[in-house]
Chain A
Amino acid sequence: MISESPQFHRLAERSGEQLVITVDNRDVAVRQGDLIITAVLLHQKAIRRFEFGDGFRAGYCLMAACQDCWVSLGDGRRVRACDTIVEPGMEVRTGIFNANGKTENC
């Protein structure tokens, strides 16, 4: 399932303190120093819908080059998830859920 199982897995425990952000209105526990892409993909398998056809995207290059990872934030900003660090209380909007809070067919 795109929405329920993680794509990324933490291999290294580290110091950063725990923070809470929201991803599509769900509370998500992250660590200081996580990139948004890390925070999101530790909980689900996609970061946005593909706007020119079916399917989802989860980023690709992780170095701010491919532009595959743009997400919206609660404050109206649009940012690359792979080069933006989480801040406490950040609201990330992936747009992968429909009005019923579901992703269709997957």
Chain B
Amino acid sequence: MLAKIVIVGAGPAGIRAAEVLAGAGLQPVVLDEARQPGGQIYRQPPPGAERDAFTLYGSEAGKARNIHAAFGRLGKSVDYRPDTLVWNCSSNALNILHKGRQGIVPYDRLLIATGAFDRVIPFPGWTLPGVFTLGGAQIALKAQGVSIGKRVALIGAGPLLPLVASQYLEAGADVAAVLDVTPFGAKIRALRGMLAVPEYARRGLSLLLKLKKFGVPTAYDVRAIEVTGNWHVDGLKWRDGAGRWHRIACDAVAASFGLKPEMQLADLAGCATYFDEATRQWLPSLQAGGRSSVPDVYLAGDCAAIGGADVAELTGKRAAYSVLRDLGIGFAADELKGIETTLARHTRLRKALDAAYPFPTHLIDAMSDSLTLCRCEGVTVGELRASYVKTSAPDVNRLKAFTRVGMGRCQGRVCGAMAAEILAGQSGASLPDVGRLRGQHPIKPIPMVV
């Protein structure tokens, strides 16, 4: 009998993995939470909201078309199940929810390609209507052709910032300011490393030139941000590197500070993680070829390590080849060799990008007691700090029981990393020692089964 292979996620990683496995005649199951393949980056608008590829994906239109076409060509050689949420994983089976109905999908090999989520740092006003993540702002434009506001301020600490800014400008949005909370000098110093992938360096540069051409106010090394407004956003205050405050009028703000892997499913599958000092976050431990610490479980794309869409295509294929190898199925090794070489260059690029956009810990140090930390249930930074004194357990999973942080509807996806930062700051323990909120089922809210 054929091994049953299940891929979770149909972004660039999941699609390329499916292609390799289908090519070997294995008919993988592809479980996709979205209604159409593409993932977030190559997300397709729903029927009725279609627009041409260039308007949607800009410079990446060709890649988007290729990915969609590649998946389309697979046809019945994959078992594609859109609109399917995977909410638990135990003993080689996934619990799924499709159109309100529960189901179980067993697997012999599991390939997780669940992508990434924006890294969030709370700041005053971040829960007001009109504040979104950068990823959210991009989806509004890509999937719906709308801007998140009439006049939008964009704030970030990663390559997503200039990308979203240029997409908004090209689409005709009014961008009030583009604020990078990391220093400009860091980018200059990282330039050499970025040349490891010349095409990427070129694209980055052209984005910056585009921002210049549009004449949008841009600042680096932003030290503090504060969204103002009583019931919704009416402006933004920010402090520059020299300590001066600036004020802009805007009715929407998109802010997030890099990306983090969506690891909940990998957690439930038992995959080990490690603390990555360079990016100050937990990542899944990867073995050669995209294997996880658990035999039978493979990781690809941004959920394995943040690398972007091009890397996701490559790691998707690589993980699929590892599956073939582990099943003892032969394949021509030339493509895999090429993939490894290209990935090595991308690893150098990623190091440079991590250095160009250091995680902005100054925004964490600035968090005051009254700030909302958990946007699900309104728990404040101060409440979390106070609860540490009470329990004196510098373990973020124990703290959770006392404060409910991480027990809201988002399961700590938004606030978990910041809860750990606050606990580390309060207790003097190191961030890795404080631990992290582990993924729990259900990964996302599901209707109660009676």
Query: Using a CB-CB cutoff of 8 Å, which residues 8-41 of chain A contact chain B?
Result: 8-17, 31-35, 38, 41
Q: How far is the CB of A31 from chain B (nearest CB, A)?
A: 6
With A60-B133, A62-B136, A105-B231 already in contact, the answer to whether A7 and B117 are too (CB < 8 A) is: no
Whether A55 sits at the interface, judged by CB under 8 Å, is yes
Interface residue count for B (Cβ, 8 Å)?
Answer: 56
Kindly state whether residue A101 has any CB partner on chain B within 8 Å: no
Q: Is the interface of B mostly helix, strand, loop or mixed?
A: loop
In A35-57, the 8 Å CB interface with B consists of 35, 38, 41-42, 45-47, 50, 52-53, 55-57
Closest to A13 in B: B145
What distance in Å separates the Cβ of A53 from its nearest Cβ neighbour in chain B?
5
Is A92 part of the binding interface, using a Cβ–Cβ cutoff of 8 Å?
no
| B410 CB-CB contact with A under 8 Å | yes
- Taking CB atoms and an 8 Å cut-off, the chain B residues in 110-153 that contact chain A are 117-118, 127-133, 135-137, 139-141, 143-150
Tell me whether A64 is interfacial, beta carbon within 8 Å.
yes
Contact (A58, B49) CB under 8 Å given A50-B127, A67-B409: no
Chain B residues, Cβ within 8 Å of A78: 447
- How far is it, in angstroms, between the C-alpha of A92 and the C-alpha of B146 when the chains are bound? 20
Say whether B48 faces chain A, with CB atoms less than 8 Å apart. yes
**Interface status of B70 (Cβ within 8 A of chain A):** no
B240-266 near A? 1/0 per residue, CB < 8 Å? 000000000001100000000010000
State how many angstroms separate the Cβ of A42 from the closest Cβ of chain B. Answer: 7
**Contact assessment for B133 and A61 in the assembled complex, using a CB-CB cutoff below 8 Å:** yes
Does the CB pair B129–A34 fall under 8 Å? no
Q: Which residues of B contact A71 (CB under 8 A)?
A: none
Q: How many A-B residue pairs have CB under 8 A?
A: 158
A12-B47 contact, Cβ under 8 Å, with A7-B251, A58-B130, A66-B410: no
How near does chain A come to B48, taking the closest CB pair, in angstroms? Answer: 3
Q: Name the contact of B50 in the complex, choosing from A2, A15, A42, A64 (C-beta under 8 A).
A: A15
Contact (A11, B149) CB under 8 Å given A33-B48, A58-B232, A62-B135: no
Beta-carbon contact of B171 and A12 below 8 Å: yes
The answer to whether A63 and B40 touch across the interface, beta carbons within 8 angstroms, is: yes
Q: Which residues of A contact B231 (CB under 8 A)?
A: 2, 45-46, 55-56, 105-106
How far is B171's CA from A70's CA once the two chains are assembled, in angstroms? 28
Chain A residues with CB below 8 A from B413, complex form:
65-66
Give the CA-CA distance A11 to B148 in the complex, in Å.
10
- B132 near A61 with CB under 8 A, answer yes
- In the bound complex, residues from chain B placing their C-beta under 8 Å from that of A59 are 132, 136
Shortest C-beta distance, A5 to chain B (Å), equals 8
CA distance in complex: A57, B51 (Å): 29
Please measure, in the bound complex, the distance between the C-alpha atom of A85 and the C-alpha atom of B45, giving whole angstroms: 11
Chain B residues with Cβ below 8 Å from A32 are: 47-49
Q: Given A56-B232, A68-B375, does the pair A38, B140 have CB atoms closer than 8 Å?
A: yes
Q: How far is the CA of A63 from the CA of B26 in the complex (A)?
A: 30
Given A32-B48, A38-B140, A65-B413, 16 extra CB contacts under 8 A: A2-B232, A7-B149, A9-B147, A11-B141, A12-B171, A34-B49, A35-B46, A38-B144, A45-B232, A56-B231, A62-B137, A62-B139, A70-B409, A85-B46, A106-B230, A106-B232
Question: Could you pull out 18 A-B pairs where Cβ atoms are within 8 angstroms?
Answer: A7-B149, A9-B147, A9-B173, A11-B147, A11-B171, A11-B172, A12-B55, A16-B49, A33-B49, A33-B144, A41-B146, A58-B130, A60-B131, A60-B132, A61-B117, A65-B117, A66-B414, A68-B410
Which residues of A line the B interface, CB within 8 A? 2, 7-17, 31-35, 38, 41-42, 45-47, 50, 52-53, 55-68, 70, 78, 82-83, 85, 105-106
